Chain A
Amino acid sequence: MLPNPKTLSFRLNRTISLEELSEQIVLSGFKLEAVSSSKEQREFYDTFEWQAFGKRVAIVKQNKTLSLVDLNTGQQIASAPFAKNSSSFFADALPPSIVKDELTSCSTLRAFSRLCMLDVISFEYRILDDNKKTIATLTSESLCLTEKKSQGAFLHRFALSPLRGYEEDAAHVAQSLATLDEESTPLDFKEYFLLIMHEAEHHVRGYSAKIMFTLNPHAPIHASARQLLQFTCSVMRMNEQGIIKDIDSEFLHDYRVAIRRTRSVMKQLKGVFDAGNTIYFLNLFRELGKRTNELRDRDVYLLRKESYFNYLPPFLQPSLQLFFRNIAASRQPLHKQFFHYLSSSDYQSSLKEWELFINHEAPPDVEQAPNAFCSTKDVAVESIKKAWRKVIHHGRQISRATTDEELHVLRIDCKKLRYLLEFFSSIFSSETITPVIRQLKELQENLGDFVDFGVQLRFLQEELATKAEEKLLAASIGGLMTTLFQKQEAARLKFHKTFSSFDHKETSQLFHDLLTCTLI
């Protein structure tokens, strides 16, 4: 395809009457012809993590059509019918189309949620030359947020789209139109999108569960630890609404990771907070985590639905529907229970108490928290060293039989080390920390698979015990168990190989470099 000529857009600070517009076009040597006018609703969608925006795509719904627009050029990439009127949708639930392909490449885990709803009044015109040939189309738009209708339009925009071969003429018209409002400014599609998001009070790309902030290596660890805990607490807070509204399973997942990270900081950085508070809050977060376990288990099974089906021969697949129906049914009360808890005064007061604690700047009593004033870099190096030694020590002790318990313990050691590396990643140079994390990740994946398959096997075993009378379901579960068992055994067999590549001179050198190098 030949690329379409670039649309020239600009923002106006006032509405322009048809007469004014027409006169201005005539002055530029052309004529204006009205084509249509409309009042429609326009909606924008993205995931909580702005994954479409990250790929420079805006998702727009208008006129029962879902369109993907290139944020850089403002041109439509693809569109598909979309009559559904819900506040969120999953990409893989869309009928086959380019839109579906593009959105599934953004995310299949996260739902695309409605970001805002706009009332758009638009007028379409044609700009004609002396031969009455169209040289460009002109769209004039006024936008207001549906929920703030009474406040009127917050944005007036002209978009002039030249027809191929008439770019120069259109540029001349655009120059002339710009004189209608001295304060008019060029407005590309990305700016237009950001203005709308700003009006809807969305902080674009304002969420990431990844640790992105920078610690001061020379600051006392008490201050840095508080910084970490404030971050994990903000992640928990940001995910609460998504869990309550049950938008997608990632809200609960990120919430749980934030709890685990919180606990890890409190537990691993010993002597940084006073013992009384440490025990109290560790207990609070352990209990909070526990409340989410069963719900998360159900989410994980539902996410595995497709692969479970693929594990089985076709004739056993239909009976598995019942299994997933049961999971979905048992998930409902668990979700209800947890979102009630999140809305309860009990939870709110606990978290407020926690927020007070982590926002309290005054350093703790040295007797109660003897390490609070140690420098962040010293604590980072020491705690990473200790955690790494523990992984190596436990790993080397694992017998040839590689029992479930041995691998489970090592998995927890690895997690602890990983959290420390992530917490303190900003004080090391990325060239030294990235390969260390990469090495650890490989080992963690192996151990994760192993433990995961074990958990699934136990769950299915319990299911089998209660559903034995339904022959086909029992056969499906049996089939799944066989596959999972084989996969777990494969992970077990792989362990020694994976661990020896971790417990290797090269990795050891990487850790040595990391812990002895000059910190940034």
Chain B
Amino acid sequence: MKTIALYSIKGGVGKTAAAVNLSYLSSLLSPPALICDLDPQGASSYYFRITASKKFNSDKFLKGNKKIFHNIKATDFENLDMLPSDFSYRNLDIELAEEKKPQKKLKKNLEELSDVYRFIFLDCPPNLTLLSESVFAASDLILVPLIPTTLSIRTFTQLQEFFEANKLENSKIHPFFSMVEKQKKLHRDILDQFRNTPGFLSQTIPYNSEVEKMGIYRSPLNAVLPNSPASKAYRNLWDEVKALLEMPGDNHAA
């Protein structure tokens, strides 16, 4: 089982779109996969038209095991399941703080799913909290979407500094540029600047009105419009991610 987090301190960078499309792509060739919506806003749950059961909440999520299994729901796509988000997740941080080893809690809970799923995708809320730390410990890869803007790069630097300060595995972090508008000079310049930076994924996701329309389709773009430029970009991105997972040596060298 490999756990892949889609994470960013900043919101509105294309995290959920990437989580939804990458998890869908992973379920096509290497089933089965699970996407966990950790964001109380529940955007990826919305994209898959799934709402959590009334009985499900952050408390049950933290209990793990059967409580998690009981609340997993099948998406409309074969071999892709979802653990939907609940609004109570807004309190996850407070509840995590009460746990004995909060940083390791998520990792422990996900290990129980390792017999069932080959890939687990975590769609994370945009902040840097105790839950984020738990995500960092649980993930094999942390994919960070970056809009090629100064502010976005700044938050990425903050993330790197946090990893260094807390002696976390920096090599897990793999940023990629998202919502790229090549007609903008700033975007082009930033892309050029980071082109050969170790750890950066080379595939970029273009800014595309079709990605925005996912909210209307309520479905992965790769399932509805597999030939759109953004769908092709997600496919290439998934190929890069797969290569990282299959070649841990390269991953650590990054």
Determine how close the nearest CB of chain A comes to the CB of B64; give it in whole angstroms: 15
Which residues B20-72 have CB closer than 8 A to chain A? Answer: 32, 48-51, 53, 69, 71-72
**Contact of A1 with B53 at beta-carbon distance under 8 Å, contacts A164-B74, A165-B72 already known:** no
**Contact status A131-B69, CB under 8 Å:** no
Determine how close the nearest CB of chain A comes to the CB of B60; give it in whole angstroms: 14
Contact with B along A143-182 (1 / 0, CB 8 A): 0000000000000000000011110000000000000000
**Contact status A1-B116, CB under 8 Å:** yes
- Bound together, the chains give a CA A2 to CA B49 distance in angstroms of 21
Determine the chain A residues whose CB is within 8 A of the CB of B81 once the complex forms: 2, 164
- Bound together, the chains give a CA A137 to CA B71 distance in angstroms of 20
Determine how close the nearest CB of chain A comes to the CB of B217; give it in whole angstroms: 11
- Bound together, the chains give a CA A165 to CA B34 distance in angstroms of 13
**Contact status A165-B53, CB under 8 Å:** yes
Report how many residues on chain B are interfacial, defined by Cβ distance under 8 Å. 15
Determine the chain B residues whose CB is within 8 A of the CB of A165 once the complex forms: 50, 53, 71-74
**Contact status A166-B73, CB under 8 Å:** yes
Determine how close the nearest CB of chain A comes to the CB of B27; give it in whole angstroms: 13
A352 within 8 A of B: no
Determine how close the nearest CB of chain B comes to the CB of A439; give it in whole angstroms: 46
B76 within 8 A of A: yes
Determine how close the nearest CB of chain B comes to the CB of A129; give it in whole angstroms: 8
Q: Classify the secondary structure of B's interface with A.
A: loop
Determine how close the nearest CB of chain B comes to the CB of A22; give it in whole angstroms: 20
**Contact of A2 with B73 at beta-carbon distance under 8 Å, contacts A131-B51, A164-B81 already known:** no
Determine the chain A residues whose CB is within 8 A of the CB of B73 once the complex forms: 163-166
B187 within 8 A of A: no
B218 within 8 A of A: yes
Determine how close the nearest CB of chain B comes to the CB of A61; give it in whole angstroms: 22
**Contact status B49-A133, CB under 8 Å:** yes
Determine how close the nearest CB of chain A comes to the CB of B79; give it in whole angstroms: 10
**Contact status A2-B51, CB under 8 Å:** no
Contact with B along A107-148 (1 / 0, CB 8 A): 000000000000000000000010111100000000000000
Determine how close the nearest CB of chain B comes to the CB of A1; give it in whole angstroms: 6
Which residues B137-189 have CB closer than 8 A to chain A? Answer: none
Q: Classify the secondary structure of A's interface with B.
A: loop
Determine how close the nearest CB of chain B comes to the CB of A35; give it in whole angstroms: 11
- Bound together, the chains give a CA A133 to CA B82 distance in angstroms of 13
- Bound together, the chains give a CA A1 to CA B81 distance in angstroms of 12
- Bound together, the chains give a CA A133 to CA B50 distance in angstroms of 7
**Contact status A132-B218, CB under 8 Å:** yes
**Contact status B49-A166, CB under 8 Å:** no
Determine how close the nearest CB of chain A comes to the CB of B53; give it in whole angstroms: 7
Determine the chain B residues whose CB is within 8 A of the CB of A163 once the complex forms: 73-74, 76
Determine the chain B residues whose CB is within 8 A of the CB of A1 once the complex forms: 32, 116
**Contact of A131 with B49 at beta-carbon distance under 8 Å, contacts A2-B69, A2-B116 already known:** yes
Q: How large is the interface on A (under 10, 10 to 19, 20 to 34, 35 or more residues)?
A: 10 to 19
Q: Which among B49, B53, B218 has the highest number of chain A CB atoms within 10 Å?
A: B49
Determine the chain B residues whose CB is within 8 A of the CB of A131 once the complex forms: 49-51, 218
Determine how close the nearest CB of chain B comes to the CB of A137; give it in whole angstroms: 10
Determine the chain A residues whose CB is within 8 A of the CB of B74 once the complex forms: 163-166
Determine the chain B residues whose CB is within 8 A of the CB of A133 once the complex forms: 48-50, 76
Which residues B168-215 have CB closer than 8 A to chain A? Answer: none
Determine how close the nearest CB of chain B comes to the CB of A501; give it in whole angstroms: 48
Determine the chain B residues whose CB is within 8 A of the CB of A164 once the complex forms: 72-74, 81
- Bound together, the chains give a CA A341 to CA B112 distance in angstroms of 67
Determine the chain A residues whose CB is within 8 A of the CB of B53 once the complex forms: 165
Determine how close the nearest CB of chain A comes to the CB of B244; give it in whole angstroms: 26
Which residues A394-445 have CB closer than 8 A to chain B? Answer: none
Determine how close the nearest CB of chain B comes to the CB of A117; give it in whole angstroms: 29
Determine the chain A residues whose CB is within 8 A of the CB of B51 once the complex forms: 131
Determine how close the nearest CB of chain A comes to the CB of B215; give it in whole angstroms: 13
Q: Which among B48, B50, B218 has the highest number of chain A CB atoms within 10 Å?
A: B50
**Contact status B72-A132, CB under 8 Å:** no
- Bound together, the chains give a CA A382 to CA B49 distance in angstroms of 79
Q: Which among A2, A131, A132, A165 has the highest number of chain B CB atoms within 10 Å?
A: A165
Which residues A83-128 have CB closer than 8 A to chain B? Answer: none
The chain A residue with its CB closest to the CB of B51 is A131
Which residues B73-102 have CB closer than 8 A to chain A? Answer: 73-74, 76, 81
The chain A residue with its CB closest to the CB of B84 is A165
Determine how close the nearest CB of chain B comes to the CB of A2; give it in whole angstroms: 5
- Bound together, the chains give a CA A132 to CA B51 distance in angstroms of 12
- Bound together, the chains give a CA A446 to CA B144 distance in angstroms of 72
- Bound together, the chains give a CA A141 to CA B53 distance in angstroms of 32
Contact with B along A304-331 (1 / 0, CB 8 A): 0000000000000000000000000000
- Bound together, the chains give a CA A408 to CA B182 distance in angstroms of 93
The chain B residue with its CB closest to the CB of A128 is B49
**Contact status B72-A134, CB under 8 Å:** no
Determine how close the nearest CB of chain A comes to the CB of B125; give it in whole angstroms: 22
- Bound together, the chains give a CA A333 to CA B220 distance in angstroms of 65
The chain B residue with its CB closest to the CB of A4 is B74
The chain B residue with its CB closest to the CB of A162 is B74
**Contact of A134 with B32 at beta-carbon distance under 8 Å, contacts A2-B116, A165-B71 already known:** no
- Bound together, the chains give a CA A134 to CA B69 distance in angstroms of 19
Determine the chain A residues whose CB is within 8 A of the CB of B32 once the complex forms: 1
- Bound together, the chains give a CA A282 to CA B50 distance in angstroms of 77
Determine how close the nearest CB of chain A comes to the CB of B187; give it in whole angstroms: 35
Determine how close the nearest CB of chain B comes to the CB of A400; give it in whole angstroms: 62
Contact with A along B96-127 (1 / 0, CB 8 A): 00000000000000000000100000000000
Determine the chain A residues whose CB is within 8 A of the CB of B76 once the complex forms: 133-134, 163
Determine how close the nearest CB of chain A comes to the CB of B206; give it in whole angstroms: 28
The chain B residue with its CB closest to the CB of A133 is B49
Determine the chain A residues whose CB is within 8 A of the CB of B72 once the complex forms: 2, 164-165
Determine how close the nearest CB of chain B comes to the CB of A28; give it in whole angstroms: 18
Determine how close the nearest CB of chain B comes to the CB of A475; give it in whole angstroms: 51
- Bound together, the chains give a CA A164 to CA B68 distance in angstroms of 13
The chain A residue with its CB closest to the CB of B49 is A133
The chain A residue with its CB closest to the CB of B56 is A165
Determine the chain B residues whose CB is within 8 A of the CB of A166 once the complex forms: 73-74
The chain A residue with its CB closest to the CB of B50 is A133
Determine the chain B residues whose CB is within 8 A of the CB of A129 once the complex forms: 49
- Bound together, the chains give a CA A164 to CA B81 distance in angstroms of 8
- Bound together, the chains give a CA A2 to CA B72 distance in angstroms of 10
Given contacts A133-B50, A166-B74, 13 further A-B contacts (CB under 8 A): A1-B32, A2-B72, A131-B49, A131-B50, A131-B51, A133-B76, A163-B73, A163-B74, A164-B72, A164-B73, A165-B72, A165-B73, A166-B73
Nearest first, the 8 closest Cβ-Cβ pairs linking A and B are A165-B73, A133-B49, A163-B74, A164-B74, A131-B49, A134-B76, A2-B116, A164-B73
The 17 listed contacts between A and B (C-beta, < 8 Å) are A2-B72, A2-B81, A129-B49, A131-B49, A131-B51, A132-B218, A133-B48, A133-B50, A163-B73, A163-B76, A164-B72, A164-B81, A165-B53, A165-B71, A165-B72, A166-B73, A166-B74
